[in-house]
Amino acid sequence: MYVYDQIDQRLVDQRVAQFRDQTQRFMAGKLSEEEFRALRLRNGLYIQRYAPMLRIAIPYGLLSSRQLRKLAQIARKYDRAYGHFSTRQNLQLNWPRLEQVPEILAELAGVQMHAIQTSGNCIRNITTDHFAGVAPDEIVDSFVWCEIIRQWSTFHPEFSYLPRKFKIAVNGAERDRTATFVHDIGLHALRNEAGEVGFRVIVGGGLGRTPLVGHVIREFLPWPHLLTYLDAILRVYNRYGRRDNIHKARIKILLKERGADRFREEVEAEWAHVKDGAGTLNDDDVRRIEARFVRPQHEKLQPVEPIGGPGFAAWAKRNVHGHKVPGYAAVTLSLKKTGVPPGDVTSDQMEAIADLAERYSFGELRVSHEQNLILADMRQADLPALWREARELGLATPNIGLLTNIIACPGGDFCALANAKSIPVAQAIQERFDDLDYLHDIGELDLNISGCMNACGHHHVGHIGILGVDKNGEEWYQVEIGGNQGKTRAGRTPTGEASPGAALGKVIGPSFARADVPAVIEKLIACYLERRDSEAERFVDVVHRIGIEPFKESVYGNAHQRAASRSRARALA
Amino acid sequence: MATLIKERRVVHERAPSPDARVIRLEPGDDPASVAAELGSVARIEVSFPKFGDGRGFSIARLLRGRYGYQGELRAVGHITRDHLYFMERVGFDAFELREGEDAAEALAAFSTFSVPYQRA
């Protein structure tokens, strides 16, 4: 856990004072709607469909029991006693009152938390691997680098009024669990032949209405240059990113319009000026940040194979993950129980989870971008006991990596931007696929739902992605297949190649009414099961091997049948 | 006339003398284009036509850092006290506030944050 020093604390306190003043000036008519909008957004405050929405930062997804208890209290006192964990590892409250937000921020500051830069056209919360620091395939502990970047980006004087929002992800392990290829900047740590740490720099990926896979603009950036190189990228973007059209303002469009090569040249030219300047990092800088993290003190343990019956075994198979220290494991507490909106937790659950983390996992938790919570430092011997308690709390659904571990945005139930609801679709699918044996047989499958093309539910990188669209005021759903968030799992194609890296899904055809969506998913799954070579070949692997046409046929009929149905429709019209 | 803050003080400026050379840069202008003239100008004005257009922040950084400009650097346009802390940090020393902004109250904004995280 990162522990604030006096400077960190003073800055969040001063931020509260600043926002209190801005809110008062707005309510007194001294700030216009538009001016206040730019200011409230960078404190995470949206005006939503029914009420404001407040997005609280959970820097790189790391949270203490004490902080989670505070979030539970805040949700109870200022909201409706629940919160929503988002795909960017933050927590959203859906019903706070505008005039109370400064109070909420003050309470957060009391537990070293804030809502700084969780929205607005600035550098957002830095996201990372939810197994940082414990992953067996770790290259570096990405938390340290995230914190270095967090400090650099917080109140950055030059880059606080960018053309558009800016998202940076840092991956410190071999496998990419942070979707670095679909961020404005993705940084993937690696070691060169001399064993020195550096970063592969990926720029210009993103989802939203123009989904694009990022470009590697530098294969190896030695770590001392991390911040000066970020300065160079951001300066090029701040100066030349489009500001005439909000839909073309992300850095991915700048890269697309200029071409990755020209963009790289511009960044390198800018970097030549700032390289080795004051922003250059040295060992002391890194050690100073490292020293502010309080680390779990692991015991010397023998690995154990915990026994707990069939229910436990199914859970352990899906929700327990490897750990670099013998005798320990990481556990996912699933927030994807059927009937509960994905990522939602009640205040009571938050408090219970805080207790679990305290008793079993050094009082720390992580939020995953798949909207679950992780206890990262569990003794293997404690797993059966934890499982029993988590099951009581409704947090032990054994579905991590499976179809019902659905990522979904809040959708039309809450969000002013949404074209369609997401949550009822997620529930209908979860209900349709409620047979656990069948789910396990289907195997690893990411199903992501967004209520509009802003793609907060990351539908483009779901193996199956569902997008809510508006057709003459009615809610319809478009289905994509073949997306992939990165080299997240050790899947192999039949020819033995590693599974594809980040990929964007392809739309299978015309959209569906909400009631038809579960049946469509069933047809896609049936098609997959029929055509897979073995259980090791995942849904997404089959789509990449045989293309989308067979899947399309399974849903809409073959080309001949489709033409016949079109002409029938025309004749009836 | 809009209020002006200069070196952290509210000032009332008389009409500028006609021979004083003033360069005005719009957000899309390249500061390199005026680099040769920097020694002979009375001041440079950088325009912020919209509350959220941050290109002028980079222009200021470049003028001060890369091109070594040391004279008056004035931010003009849609500027409220909410910009002042960042603007001063990138090198502005004069600010023409938007209509209706109280300059005396705005002075407090320079000490919004007592320490910066960034060294550069």
What values do phi and psi take at A338, rounded to 5? -60, 135
Instruction: Give the pLDDT band (50/70/90) at residue B61.
Output: very high
Best residue of B30, B89, B98, B119 to probe chain A, by most A CBs closer than 10 Å: B119
DSSP state of A136: T
Q: How confident is the model at residue B1 (pLDDT cuts 50, 70, 90)?
A: low
Q: What tokens does A417 get?
A: 């931007």
Same fold, A6-109 and A330-392: no
Provide, as residue numbers in chain A, all residues whose Cβ is less than 8 Å from the Cβ of B118. Answer: 151-152, 156-157, 279
Domain range B21-108, its CATH number among 3.40.630.30, 3.30.9.60, 3.40.50.2300, 3.40.50.300 = 3.40.50.2300
Tens digit of each residue's pLDDT (9 = 90 or more) over B22-41: 999 999 999 999 999 999 99
Nearest CB neighbour to A243, from listed B53, B58, B119: B53
Question: Which ipTM score applies to this complex?
Answer: 0.96
Q: Is the pLDDT of residue B19 over 80?
A: no
CB contact set of A362 (below 8 Å; sequence gap of 6+): A296, A297, A377
Query: A396 or B17, which is more confident?
Result: A396
Domain boundaries, chain A: 6-109, 127-289, 330-392, 407-572
Q: Which residues make beta-bridge pairs with A201?
A: A187, A218
Q: Flag if A161 and B54 touch (Cβ within 8 Å).
A: yes
pTM (predicted TM-score):
0.92
CB contact under 8 A, B113 and A14: yes
Whether A37 has its CB under 8 Å from any CB of chain B: the answer is no
How far apart (Å, rounded) are the C-alpha atoms in residues A148 and A150?
A: 5
B interface test, pick of A116, A152, A161 with most B CB neighbours within 10 Å: A161
A385-438 pLDDT, tens digit per residue, is 999 999 999 999 999 999 999 999 989 888 888 899 999 999 999 999 998 889
A193 interfaces chain B, CB cutoff of 8 Å: no
Q: Would you call A231 an interface residue with chain B, using a CB distance cutoff of 8 Å?
A: yes
For domain A6-109, the CATH architecture is Alpha-Beta Complex (3.90)
Which residues, given as ranges, of chain A have pLDDT below 50? 488-500
**Residue A502 pLDDT:** 85
Quickly count: other Cβ atoms within 10 Å of residue B38's Cβ. 16
The CATH number of the domain covering residues in A407-572: 3.30.413.10
Query: Which pLDDT does position A51 carry in this prediction?
Result: 75
Provide the pLDDT for residue A497: 41
Q: What is the pLDDT of residue A573?
A: 63
For A472, counting Cβ atoms within 10 Å of its Cβ (0-12 exposed, 13-18 middle, 19+ buried), the class is exposed
Amino acid type, A295: R
A160/B contact by beta carbon, under 8 A: yes
CA atoms of A205 and A461, how far apart (whole Å): 12
CB contacts of B106 in chain A (<8 Å) are none
Does B114 touch chain A if contact means CB atoms closer than 8 Å?
Answer: yes
Kindly give, in sequence order, each residue whose CB lies less than 8 Å from that of residue B33, ignoring residues fewer than 6 positions away: none
For chain A, what's the residue count?
Answer: 573
CB pair distance less than 8 Å for B80 and A35:
yes
Q: Inspect the interface and report whether the beta carbons of A238 and B58 lie closer than 8 Å.
A: yes
Chain A CB contacts of B55 under 8 Å are 238-239, 243
Flag whether residue B15 sits within 8 Å of chain A, measured between CB atoms.
no
Is 3.40.50.300 the CATH number for A127-289?
A: no
Burial class of residue A531 (count of CB atoms within 10 Å of its CB; 0-12, 13-18, 19+): middle
Q: What is the pLDDT of residue A338?
A: 87
Domain A330-392: CATH class, spelled out: alpha beta
Q: Does A288 touch chain B (CB under 8 A)?
A: no
User: What is the full DSSP assignment across A334-384?
Assistant: ----TTS-TTEEEHHHHHHHHHHHHHHSTTEEEE-TTS-EEEEEEEGGGHH
Of B66, B90, B120, the CB nearest to A231: B120
Alpha-carbon distances, residue A74 vs A54, A107, A324, A344, A552 (angstroms): 11, 8, 35, 15, 47
At A330-364, the pLDDT tens digits run 999 999 998 888 899 999 999 999 999 999 999 99
Q: Does B85 touch chain A (CB under 8 A)?
A: yes
Test B118 with A279 for CB contact under 8 angstroms. yes
CB A398 within 8 A of CB A320: no
- A-contacting residues in B 48-67 (Cβ below 8 Å): 51-55, 57-58, 61, 66
